[in-house]
Amino acid sequence: MSDALFSSLVAAPADPILGVTQRYRQDPRPQKVNLGVGAYMTDEGVTPVLDVVKEAETALAEACIPHSYLPISGLDGYGAHVQQMVFGADSEIVLSGRAATIQTLGGTGALKVGMDFMFHICGERVASTSLPTWGNHNAILGMAGYEIKPYRYYDAATNSLNFEAMVEDLKALPAKTLVVLHSCCHNPTGYDLTEEQWKVVIEICQKGGLTPFLDMAYQGFRDGLDEDAASIRMFAASGMSFLVATSFSKSFNLYNERIGALTVVCQSKAEADVVMTQLKAVVRCNYSNPPAHGAYIVERVLSDPQKYAHWKEELGGMRERIRSMRKALADEMARLGAKRDFSFVTRQAGMFSFTGLTPEQVEKLAADYGIYAVKNGRICICGLNTRNVQYVAKSIAEVL
């Protein structure tokens, strides 16, 4: 064979997050623990099907809806209900209609469509992400062709947010930079901005002509659905144009249904209508139109006040379990007299804790104890439960 088309290719590295799950699955040790991927699990170690999802799926099975194509922008009514959840039902943005929302393939799909739209249609060429950030942000931006200028966010020496450095770096960005911000539950650090700090960031974005892209993958996992949307609502009140990526993977435990939304906030309804046509053009040449199952479920819950209230309760239950596991881990580390103070775990929010574990310590945890974390030291607190938290704490204490 003389065809050398692929012969010089080298294998791509395993995904830094999803690759951890692969390795975990292959481990035969019964005591193994997966603290890699950000996916919720119960105290029994399973990803639950929420009551509201069960109810919707039962109704859907009964309804036997034909599998014809959805519109390119997604299920009718879905975008409007997503906007109400994100901005509040009586928000000016919802009432004026100056935002365009499309259904996407999870939060990642929202980021991908949004980043492609800003690059190919709006001509932005520079993007900025936090140091550190979720690895896929930079991968998607890089694939689109952006030059990436990161902004500092986390100070490893003090294991805390370095807001001064963040401000300095944001101020230095050129106008028309797409700035990716984590609206709550920062991934991977778990450290969020305060209201005062968000005000400063909004002002920098406005003065500097930057384009904020708010990644909202974990709405409801910090303090609650409305509480967690506070930063987005501050951007909304500022009057500036921005983008929001919403994920329902986490908040509905619908990981494999790939259900999310991209919202582009514009200056007027007329502008939003034009943006919608361009978003549809981006979707059409990528995957044509979205799948329906996850959208039917989410739309059924978002559009019904009773179901919405029940979902909020279920989400609250997940949030509380994560919080109790943060405390259990910190307490256990203190009880063991670990070399490092682990109380920071309780000051971080969302699914993750950035532990400061080195890549070598992470590898030792995997090889010697069957405990799997992301190489940068991020652990997913959802992988902890009342049966394994002591084992995990003891193992971490031993590798420190």
Residues of the shown chain interacting with ligand LMR in the complex, contacts defined by CB under 6 A: 17, 37-38, 134, 136, 187
CB of 134 vs ligand LMR, minimal distance in Å: 5
* 123 alpha carbon, distance to own chain's centre: 25
For residues 19 and 208, which CB has a smaller minimum distance to ligand LMR in the complex?
A: 19
* 299 alpha carbon, distance to own chain's centre: 20
Write the CB contacts of 243 (distance below 8 Å, at least 6 apart in sequence): 114, 118, 211, 212, 213, 214, 262, 263, 264, 265
Say whether 134 is catalytic.
yes
Q: What does the alpha-carbon distance between residue 325 and residue 397 come to, in Å, rounded to a whole number?
A: 17
CB of 164 vs ligand LMR, minimal distance in Å: 27
Q: What does the alpha-carbon distance between residue 211 and residue 170 come to, in Å, rounded to a whole number?
A: 11
Active-site residue (options: 116, 169, 228, 250): 250
Say whether 307 is catalytic.
no
Q: What does the alpha-carbon distance between residue 164 and residue 122 come to, in Å, rounded to a whole number?
A: 30
CB of 203 vs ligand LMR, minimal distance in Å: 29
For residues 173 and 260, which CB has a smaller minimum distance to ligand LMR in the complex?
A: 260
CB of 38 vs ligand LMR, minimal distance in Å: 3
Cα 394–395–400 angle (5° rounding)?
100
Angle of helix 51-63 versus helix 293-302 axis, rounded to 10:
120
DSSP bridge pairs for 354: 378
Q: What does the alpha-carbon distance between residue 78 and residue 296 come to, in Å, rounded to a whole number?
A: 9
For residues 287 and 308, which CB has a smaller minimum distance to ligand LMR in the complex?
A: 287
Angle of helix 230-238 versus helix 78-87 axis, rounded to 10:
100
CB of 182 vs ligand LMR, minimal distance in Å: 11
Q: What does the alpha-carbon distance between residue 109 and residue 246 come to, in Å, rounded to a whole number?
A: 9
For residues 106 and 370, which CB has a smaller minimum distance to ligand LMR in the complex?
A: 106
CB of 144 vs ligand LMR, minimal distance in Å: 18
Residue in 236, 178, 256, 194 with CA at minimum distance from that of residue 18: 256
Say whether 311 is catalytic.
no
Instruction: Write the DSSP symbol of residue 17.
Output: T
**Residue in the block written with tokens 């009964």:** 62
**Residue in the block written with tokens 């307490």:** 331
Q: What does the alpha-carbon distance between residue 113 and residue 284 come to, in Å, rounded to a whole number?
A: 11
> What are the tokens at 234?
């501050």
Q: What does the alpha-carbon distance between residue 85 and residue 79 come to, in Å, rounded to a whole number?
A: 10
For residues 56 and 260, which CB has a smaller minimum distance to ligand LMR in the complex?
A: 260
For residues 37 and 102, which CB has a smaller minimum distance to ligand LMR in the complex?
A: 37
Active-site residue (options: 112, 134, 228, 311): 134
- Quote the radius of gyration of the chain (alpha carbons, Å): 21
CB of 190 vs ligand LMR, minimal distance in Å: 12
For residues 72 and 188, which CB has a smaller minimum distance to ligand LMR in the complex?
A: 188
Active-site residue (options: 116, 169, 192, 215): 215
Catalytic residues: 134, 215, 250
